[in-house]
Amino acid sequence: MILWIGIGGIAGAFARYYLGKWVASKSRSTFPFGTFLINISGSFVLGLLYALHANTTVPSWAWFVFGSGFCGAYTTFSTFGYETVQLIEQKRWGLAAAYVAGSVVTGLLLAWAGMIIVG
């Protein structure tokens, strides 16, 4: 099982890296859209997986591989914290506050939406 969680983690890390780079190449803003998109989409997917697993539609192995492995590596709290500190150091207070509030609120709402969709 640990090997499969690791494989899920590798896939999540690669997805995070390449999606983050792609989003950054399309944005001209100092707002960290890549990490924001990754974290909120990961919250949504994890909410879906949780609800499916709770309803026994998703077997335990899939919950661990995709929930702990993929989503655990795909989403990133450390980058979120680092980018917030960078915005604060640049005295971009409003952007830092919007990033924190937007990430937390949107992440929670999308995790909840994923759970609601499954029922």
Query: Exposed (0-12), middle (13-18) or buried (19+): which is 66, by Cβ within 10 Å?
Result: buried
User: What are the phi and psi torsion angles at 59 (to 5°)?
Assistant: -65, 160
Distance, in Å, from the CA atom of 65 to the CA atom of 70, rounded to the nearest integer, reads 6
83 CB neighbour count, 10 Å cutoff:
20
Show the tokens assigned to 85: 């500190």
Distance, in Å, from the CA atom of 117 to the CA atom of 91, rounded to the nearest integer, reads 40
Q: Binding residue per annotation — 72?
A: yes
Show the tokens assigned to 32: 């960290």
What residues are designated binding site for Na(+)? 72, 75
User: What are the binding residues?
Assistant: 72, 75
